[in-house]
Structure 1
Amino acid sequence: MTTEATTPEEVWRDPHAPVADRVRDLVARMTPQEKIAQLQGIWAGIDAAGEMAPHQHEFAVAPQDFDELTRHGIGQLTRVFGTRPIAPEVGARTLARTQRQIIEASRFGIPAVAHEECLTGLAAWQATVYPSPLCWGATFEPDLVRRMAARIGDSMRRLGIHQGLAPVLDVTRDLRWGRVEETIGEDPHLVGTTGAAYVEGLESAGIVATLKHFAGYSASRAGRNHAPVSMGPREFADVVLPPFEMALKAGARSVMNSYADNDGVPAAADPTLLTDRLRDEYGFTGTVVADYFSVAFLHKLHAVAAGREDAAAQALSAGIDVELPTVDCFGEPLLEGLYFNRVDVAVVDRALTRVLTQKIELGLLDPDYSPAPDANLDLDDAESRDLAREVAERSIVLLHNDGVLPLAGRRLAVLGPRADEPGAMMGCYSFPLHVGVHHPDVEMGVEVTTVLEALREDHDVVFARGCPVVGGTDDEIAEAVEAARQADVCVVVLGDKAGLFGNGTSGEGCDVADLKLPGRQEELLEAVLGTGMPVVLVLLSGRPYDLSRQADRLAAVVCGFYPGQEGGAALAAVLGGRVNPSGRLPVSFPGAGSSQPSTYLSPQLGRRTEVSTVDPTPLYPFGHGLSYAPATWVTAGCEEREWPTDGDCRVHVVVRNDMEIPTAEVVQIYLHDPVAEVARPVRQLIGAVKVDLAPGETRTVTARLHADLTSYTGRAGHRQVDPGDVELHVGTSSANIHTALKLTLTGPARRVGFGRTTTPEFTTSP
C-alpha cells in the first residue's frame, strides 16, 4: 500500500471501520478516471496467448504502456498463469511484482483482483488436471466435488489468485452443443447440488467463485455456440435458473453473464436478468463480470448498441460491474460518455461500490496486504493426484456388460485413436488443451498415463490406433482388424479431441450437426465388430454419442467422459476389476432415431407417442449405471401418506450388498406430478445419494423431503406448491423405478421463491 499516513478522515484506510463506510469514503474521493479504472481488466500477456477465440485480437490489444494504463488503478488482471506456460514460482513472482507496480503507480494504491480459469483444476502449467464437470455429475457425490474444489482453491490462493471463473451451471439441453463437456448434466437438481458443492469448496479456500453463464446459454438454437435462445419463462425458471439459485445460496460471490440473447435481449444488456432477478429477487451483493468480450459483442455481434460507448452504458445499466478480459468499452468510450453526461455517474458508482466492497472483503485494501506468494508452490503434489484419481474412479460409468468385464487373464487388443493419447483425458479448459496446444515445443507439465499404458501394466496387449479422431486411411483400419484377431478381447477406445473453435470435435465453438462418432471411428468400430471378437467400447468424450447401431453387438460399454490426468489409471482399474464402477449418467445417451434437443425432462408428449414417428427414448437413460456387484433393494417406503404443503415427508430405502466385493448404489428419488396447471416432466429428480456398501452390509437411507421440492412455475408466472396427489418414484435411474410411492399434498397452495428449500436431507444408518 502507499506510504501516506492514515488520517482520521481517511475512513477507507481503516480496516476496523464498516465496509460500507470505507467504500463510501473512497468512492467520494475518486476522479472519473480512477472510478472507471476499477471497472476494467488488463490482459497483459494476450500477445503470447495464441488465437484462443475468434475476435480476440479485434477487441483485446496488449497494453503498450503498462504504467500509463495503471496510473489510475486497475480492477482485474486476466490470466497471469493461464495465458502461456510459466513455472508456478515464476508466475507467482510476476504476479506479485505486477501488483506492486499497480500499487505504486496509482494514487490510492489499490491492488487488482487476479482471476483464472479453474474448471478442471487451475488452468496453469504444472497444475493437476482434474476430471471434467460431466465426471463431477457422474459421481453423484457433492462432498467429493467439494473436496476437489477446496484443493483447487488452495492452489490458487497460494499463487496470489483471488477469483476463479467456475463453475459452469448451464444445464445440458442439446447434446450437439460443443460446451456440453463443461456442463455437469441435463438435470437442474444434479447440476445445482454439484455446482453448489464446488462453490462451497472454492470459497472455503478464500477464492471468489464465479457462476457461468447467467443464463440460458446452453439452450441456444440447434446447439450452436452463441446462437439465439428461444425459451419460455417457465422452462427458464424451472430448468435454467435453479442451479444458479442453489449456488448463490452456497456463497458464490461473482456471476458471469451468458453470451446469448434470449428472445432478442442479450444477457449482457438485460437489466431484468442482471438486476431485477439477480439483485432484487435473489439478493445478490457480489460482482457481475462480463464474459470475455461480451460487452463489445453488444455492438459488434448482437447489433443492439450503436457503438462502444452505447455498449458500455447498456452493460453497466443492466448490471455488469467489470469488463473482461481487458479494457475496451469500459475505457475511453465510457469516460467520454461520462464527460458529456450521456452515461449516468450513478451506474458507474453502483458498479464501483460492488468492486471495492469485494476488494475490501478480500483484504486487498488492508494496511498489511502483501502480494508475496506462498512458499509452497507445488501444484501437482501426491495428494492432489490421489484426489484426481478418486474423482475419476468414482465417475466412470459402466453402461453395458455381458460378463466380459472385469478383464482377467485375457490377451487384449487395445485399439482406437484415444487409447494412447494423453490429451484424450482432458477437456478444452484444461491447461494442456486450452493453452499448451499453442506451445508445442513445451512439455505438457503433468504426467498422464494413457489407457494403453495403464492396461499394459496388468495385461498382455497388442495395440493399433486404427484411425485418428478425424480422418484416417483404410490401411490403418485394416491394421486394427488384424490386431483384433490376435486377441481374446478387443478394448476399443474412441471419443473426442477437445479443443476450441474448430480445433477439436468437442469444446467451446466445436458444435456438431449430428451425434455420430467423429470421423471414421464408427467405421473402425464396425470393422472390429466384424471380426467376431468380444468388443469392449471405452468412450472418452465431451458428449454422449449415438451408439444404437452397435449397442446390441458390444460386449461392454464404459464411459469416462474426460476423467483428467489420472483417468487412464482409473479406467484400467475399473476394466480390470480392482475398482467396482459406481458412476451414473448425468446425461442420457441418444437412442436410434432420437432427435435433438431432447433430455429426460419431458412431459408426456415429449416422449414416445403414437402421434409421431420419431422415438426420443434414450439408449442409456439419465441416472443409468451398472456395477460388478449390484446392490439388493430390500424395501422402499414412506412414513406418511399425507404431505403438508409447508412440511416434510420421509422416504426410507433399505439396500444390501449380497456380493463378496464392495459396491455402491445411487438411490434416486424422482417426482411425478399427475395433474398440474402446466405440462410438467413425467419424472424429475428431486434427490439422490450414493451409498457405499461393504460385502454383506445393509444400510437404510432416509430422505427428508420438503414440499418445496414439488414446486414449479404455474400459469401466473410464479413458483408454487399445489395441494393434490403426487408420486415419488424411487429407483436406480430415470427409467428404472423400483417403487412408486403415492402421497397427497395437503393444505393451502403456497407461493415460494428464492428462499425455498431446494435440497433434501439424507441420512444413512446400518
Structure 2
Amino acid sequence: MSLEEKVAQLAGYWLDQGGDVVAPLQDEMAAGQAGADRLGDVTRHGIGHYTRVYGTRPVDPVERARWLWGEQRRLRAETRLGIPALVHEECLTGLAAWQAATFPTPLAWGAAFDPELVAEMGALIGESMRSLGVHQGLAPVLDVIRDPRWGRVDECIAEDPYLVGTVGTAYVRGLQGAGVHATLKHFVGYSGSRAGRNHAPVSAGPREIADVYLPPFEMAVRDGGVRSVMASYNDIDGVPLHSSDEYLTGVLRDRWGFDGVVVADYFGVAFLEVMHGVAADRGEAAATALAAGVDVELPTGDAFLDPLTAAVRDGRVDEALVDRAVLRVLAQKDRLGLLEPDAFADEPPADVDLDSPRHREVARRLAEESVVLLSNDGVLPLGRWTKAPGRVAVVGPNAARADALMGCYSFANHVLAHHPERPLGFEIPTVLESVGDAFTAAGAACPDVVHARGCDVAGENTSGFAEAVAAASSADVAVVVVGDQAGLFGRGTVGEGNDVESLDLPGVQRELVEAVVATGTPVVMVVLSGRPYAIDWALDGDRGPAAVVQAFFPGEEGGPAVAGVLTGAVTPSGRLPVSLPRSAGAQPYSYLHPVLGGPSDVTSTDSTPLRPFGFGLSYTTFEYDELRVDPAVATAGTLSATVRVTNTGDVAGADVVQLYGHDLVGSVARPVAQLLAYRRVALAPGESVEVAFSVPTARFAFSDRRLDRVVEPGAVDVWVGSHAAAVAGEAGDLRHVTGGAIRNERVAAKRQVPGTATPRSRVDLTGPVHAVTGADARVATVVVVREP
C-alpha cells in the first residue's frame, strides 16, 4: 500500500457534514471540506469510514441503501485496492435513521435492571443496521453518572459501575451478535467533567478512575469482546484522552488485551489543537493521537489525511505508527466481511421494516420495566379505585408531545428537529393518547379525558395555568406530565451541551403542578426526563402530588407504558439507576461514598438523596428472608449467597433483588454500600423463589495505596436490600414496603425512605492479599432463580 492508501483507511468521510448540526463545533470544523460533488476525488485512494450515511438528515432508507450499495461497488471498481468503506451510525436509542424504531434511553435501561432484555434490544438494532449495510454502531455509552447537572446524563446507564458494566456489556453482545461492531463511549472519565459542564476538565485521581470509571469498559472488553472504543473529549489532570497513551494503549491494549480499533470522537483529533492547545497544528495533532493509540479519525480526515501524510513524508512521524493503525483497521474490515471478493455483490434491500412488531414489543417491555414509582398515597393505580374515575385531566407540557418520550440521540430530537416539515416516520403515542386506551385495554370504562398544556417545558409563560386549573377542577383525578425536552447544544433542557446550574424542573413547571394540586383534585405527577430532578417539594412535603412517577425518556412505547402503570395494567417495577438529588448544591454525589461522603453532623449541608439508588415502589409487597451467605471465602474465590423472596401482596409483580456489600476495614476508605449483584424476578401473589448469587471476590477489589488492584483479607458485610439505603428491620419483619395500597408514602423525615433489607451477614475474606489481574478482573455475576 502506498502512504496515501494507508492514511485513507484511517479517515472518515462525512458526505452531509455541511448540513444539520449534530456534533460540537461542526460548522467551524466543516470549513473548507469537500462536498459530495468531489466524492470520487476525495476517495481516489480509498476511504476508511463513511460517516452517518443514514443519520445526518431524513432520507428514505431503501433509496439510501441503493445509493450505498452503488457507492461501495464504485470503491471496489475504481480504487486500486478495491476496499469498501466501513459505514458507522449512531444507535444509542435505536438506529438513528428516519423511520427506525426508537427505544428507551440508556438511563431507562439502567432503571429496568434487565440486561437480558437490553441484549434483545441490541440484537434488533443490529439487525436493522446490518440490513442497511451499516457495520459499526457508536454505542453504548459506559460513562458512570457522577453529576446530574451534566447534559449527557440521559445517554448514561447508571451511577453504579457494576450496573453500567453488566447492562452495557449486554448491549454489546446483542449488537455484535447481529454482526455489527459496538463502540464503547467515552473512554474515559467524560462524565466527571468539572461541575457537570460538557468538555470541562476532569480532576479525578487515579484511584477514582481505576475503581469507578474504568470497570464498565473493562467488563465490555473482557466479557463482551467489544470490537471498537471511542476516545473521550475531556482531559484528565491536563492530559487530553485523544493524546493519552497511558489509557488508549497502556490500559486498554497492554493491560486488558483489547485488539480492536480505537476511533476518535467527532473532531477530537483536531480539538487537540483548537481546544486543548497541546498541538501546534493539525499535523502535530494527528501525530500525537496516532502515537497515543487512536486508529481512525472521525467524522472526517481533517488531520489524518493531508497533514499526517506530510508529517510522515518529512520525517516527523514514524510510518510504523501508520502501519500499526492500518493493520487494525483492515483486520476489522476483514472481520466484517468487507475484504471478501463478493462484498456487496448482493442486491440492496428492496423493502425494510425498521419498526416491526418485534421492535415495538421489546420497546414496550423495556419501557414498562423502566417506569419508577417514587411515591403513592393510594391514588394509584387508577383502575383499582372502588369507583373508577369518570373524568381524568391530563395536563402539562409533556402530556401531548411525542418528543418528550425520546432522548437526545433519538433521530427525532437529534436530526428531525431541523426538519419540522417531515413526519416522524413511526408511531409514538403520547401519554395523553395512551391514558384512555389503557382503560379500554384493561376492560374498564373509558373515562372522559380532558387536556390542557398549562405551560411550555422552558420559559416563564404562565398564561396557560388557568385552563389547566379549570381542567383539573372538573376532574376526578389530574395527571400532570412534566419534565424535559431533549436536544443538542442549547436546543433543549437536557442532552449534549445542555448542562444546567439548577436541578429544579425547567421553567414554571413546578408552579403549574402546585397550582393543580391546590384545586384539591388528587394529582399524579409524571416526570418524563433525561436526568433526575430535585423534587423534594413533590415527595417530602404535605402539599405535594398524591403520587409521583418517574420515566426516563421511555421511547416509542413509553406513552402506553406510563399509562399502563397509571391504570394498573402494569405493576411498576423500575428502580432508580441514579440517586434522586436533594439539591444542585449537593452535587456531585454518589451512593458509593465513604462515611465522610455522606450526611454528617460536622456540616450544615445535607447530601442525603430524596430517593436512593435502587429505589422503586410497586403495587404489591415483597418479603426477603432466609439469607444464607458463605461465612468464609478466599480472597481469590467466589462468594455464594441465597435469599428467599416472596410476593406477599395480592397482585403479580416483579422485584429487583439487590445484593449489597461493605468492606469494614480497608487500606483506603471504602463505600458504605456497594452493589454486588442483582436479579429481576417476577412473582405471582403468594409465590416464593430462592435467588442464588455467585459473586467473584473481584467485586470487592479496589486500588490500594500503591494503586495495585487488590482484594484484601478481612471482614465484609453482605445483605439484600430493596435499595442502597435500605436498613434491616426486626428479625421476622423483613417486608419490602413497596405497596401502592399502603397509604401516605410521603417521607416525614429526610432519611426515612420506604424499604427494608435482610440483616447483614458477616463474611471473612481469608488468605493473602489477592492481586486482581487478567481473567480475574472479570466481574460478571452468575445468578440462579429457583423455587425454594
TM-score range, shorter chain: over 0.9
Q: Does 2:63 align with 1:72?
A: no
Which piece of structure 1 moves more, 93-102 or 264-273? Answer: 93-102
Q: Does 2:523 align with 1:535?
A: yes
Deviations 1:695-752 (A, max 9, x none): 2221000111221111111101111011110001211100114121111111111111
Work out which of the residue numbers 448, 468, 480 in structure 1 matches 2:456: 468
- Structure 2 gaps of 5+ residues are 440-446, 728-756
CA distance in 1, matches of 2:203, 2:628: 41
Q: Indicate how the Cα distance of structure 1 residues 368 and 748 shifts in structure 2: closer, same or farther if over 3 A, else same.
A: same
Deviations 1:116-156 (A, max 9, x none): 00000000000000000011011111000000000100010
Work out which of the residue numbers 653, 660, 663 in structure 2 matches 1:663: 653
Work out which of the residue numbers 465, 469, 472 in structure 2 matches 1:477: 465
2:779 paired residue number: 758
2:58 paired residue number: 85
Which piece of structure 1 moves more, 95-104 or 233-242? Answer: 95-104
Following TM superposition, by how much is the alpha carbon of 1:754 offset from its aligned partner in structure 2, in angstroms?
A: 4.2
Following TM superposition, by how much is the alpha carbon of 1:75 offset from its aligned partner in structure 2, in angstroms?
A: 0.2
The question of whether the paired residues in 2 share the 8 Å contact of 1:70 and 1:105 is answered with: no
2:664 paired residue number: 674
Deviations 1:246-286 (A, max 9, x none): 11121110000110000000000010110111110111100
Map 1:279-428 to 2 at 5 A.
279-370=253-344, 372-408=347-383, 409-410=388-389, 411-428=391-408
The question of whether the paired residues in 2 share the 8 Å contact of 1:229 and 1:261 is answered with: yes
CA distance in 1, matches of 2:650, 2:589: 39
1:620 paired residue number: 611
Letter in 2 for 1:55: L
Letter in 2 for 1:277: V
CA distance in 2, matches of 1:62, 1:532: 63
Map 1:213-292 to 2 at 5 A.
213-249=186-222, 250-292=224-266
CA distance in 1, matches of 2:118, 2:538: 33
Deviations 1:407-426 (A, max 9, x none): 13212111110000000100
Q: Does 2:6 align with 1:35?
A: yes
Deviations 1:668-713 (A, max 9, x none): 0111011101111111111111011122221000111221111111
CA distance in 2, matches of 1:593, 1:541: 16
The question of whether the paired residues in 1 share the 8 Å contact of 2:503 and 2:583 is answered with: no
- Aligned with 1:621: secondary structure? coil
Which piece of structure 1 moves more, 216-225 or 680-689? Answer: 680-689
CA distance in 1, matches of 2:702, 2:82: 49
The question of whether the paired residues in 1 share the 8 Å contact of 2:654 and 2:680 is answered with: yes
CA distance in 2, matches of 1:658, 1:282: 45
- Aligned with 1:696: secondary structure? coil
Deviations 1:157-201 (A, max 9, x none): 011100000000000000000000000010000000000000000
Deviations 1:566-622 (A, max 9, x none): 100111111100011111110111125751111111110110001111110010110
1:733 paired residue number: 723
The question of whether the paired residues in 1 share the 8 Å contact of 2:45 and 2:80 is answered with: yes
- Aligned with 1:99: secondary structure? helix
- Aligned with 2:277: secondary structure? coil
1:126 paired residue number: 99
Letter in 2 for 1:423: D
Letter in 2 for 1:583: G
Work out which of the residue numbers 764, 770, 788 in structure 2 matches 1:744: 764
Work out which of the residue numbers 188, 192, 196 in structure 1 matches 2:169: 196
Work out which of the residue numbers 690, 694, 699 in structure 2 matches 1:709: 699
TM-score (norm 1): 0.95
Map 1:560-575 to 2 at 5 A.
560-575=551-566
1:11 paired residue number: none
1:720 paired residue number: 710
Following TM superposition, by how much is the alpha carbon of 1:641 offset from its aligned partner in structure 2, in angstroms?
A: 1.1
The question of whether the paired residues in 2 share the 8 Å contact of 1:672 and 1:682 is answered with: yes
Which piece of structure 1 moves more, 294-303 or 749-758? Answer: 749-758
- Aligned with 2:382: secondary structure? coil
CA distance in 2, matches of 1:52, 1:367: 35
CA distance in 1, matches of 2:608, 2:449: 37
Work out which of the residue numbers 15, 19, 22 in structure 2 matches 1:44: 15
Q: Indicate how the Cα distance of structure 1 residues 594 and 735 shifts in structure 2: closer, same or farther if over 3 A, else same.
A: farther
Following TM superposition, by how much is the alpha carbon of 1:91 offset from its aligned partner in structure 2, in angstroms?
A: 1.6
- Aligned with 2:784: secondary structure? strand
CA distance in 2, matches of 1:593, 1:134: 19
Following TM superposition, by how much is the alpha carbon of 1:656 offset from its aligned partner in structure 2, in angstroms?
A: 1.3
The question of whether the paired residues in 2 share the 8 Å contact of 1:181 and 1:542 is answered with: yes
Letter in 2 for 1:499: G
CA distance in 2, matches of 1:218, 1:634: 38
The question of whether the paired residues in 2 share the 8 Å contact of 1:139 and 1:583 is answered with: yes
CA distance in 2, matches of 1:127, 1:633: 42
Map 1:471-510 to 2 at 5 A.
471-510=459-498
CA distance in 1, matches of 2:260, 2:780: 24
Letter in 1 for 2:577: P
2:28 paired residue number: 58
Following TM superposition, by how much is the alpha carbon of 1:474 offset from its aligned partner in structure 2, in angstroms?
A: 2.9
CA distance in 2, matches of 1:300, 1:137: 36
The question of whether the paired residues in 2 share the 8 Å contact of 1:150 and 1:205 is answered with: yes
The question of whether the paired residues in 2 share the 8 Å contact of 1:131 and 1:388 is answered with: yes
TM-score (norm 2): 0.92
Q: Indicate how the Cα distance of structure 1 residues 504 and 318 shifts in structure 2: closer, same or farther if over 3 A, else same.
A: same
Q: Indicate how the Cα distance of structure 1 residues 455 and 709 shifts in structure 2: closer, same or farther if over 3 A, else same.
A: same
Following TM superposition, by how much is the alpha carbon of 1:427 offset from its aligned partner in structure 2, in angstroms?
A: 0.5
CA distance in 1, matches of 2:462, 2:674: 46
Which piece of structure 1 moves more, 317-326 or 458-467? Answer: 458-467
2:444 paired residue number: none
The question of whether the paired residues in 2 share the 8 Å contact of 1:46 and 1:62 is answered with: no
- Aligned with 1:614: secondary structure? coil
- Aligned with 1:210: secondary structure? strand
The question of whether the paired residues in 2 share the 8 Å contact of 1:398 and 1:583 is answered with: yes
Q: Does 2:598 align with 1:607?
A: yes
Letter in 2 for 1:631: F
Q: CA RMSD in A?
A: 1.2
The question of whether the paired residues in 1 share the 8 Å contact of 2:394 and 2:452 is answered with: yes
Following TM superposition, by how much is the alpha carbon of 1:53 offset from its aligned partner in structure 2, in angstroms?
A: 3.4
Map 1:516-535 to 2 at 5 A.
516-535=504-523
The question of whether the paired residues in 2 share the 8 Å contact of 1:132 and 1:182 is answered with: yes
- Aligned with 2:131: secondary structure? helix
CA distance in 2, matches of 1:363, 1:550: 55
Which piece of structure 1 moves more, 749-758 or 693-702? Answer: 749-758
CA distance in 1, matches of 2:533, 2:462: 23
CA distance in 2, matches of 1:439, 1:208: 30
Structure 1 residue ranges (4+ consecutive) displaced by more than 6 angstroms after TM superposition: none
- Aligned with 1:413: secondary structure? strand
Letter in 2 for 1:278: L
Deviations 1:462-507 (A, max 9, x none): 1111100012533211221121111121111000000000000000
CA distance in 1, matches of 2:774, 2:266: 28
Letter in 1 for 2:554: P
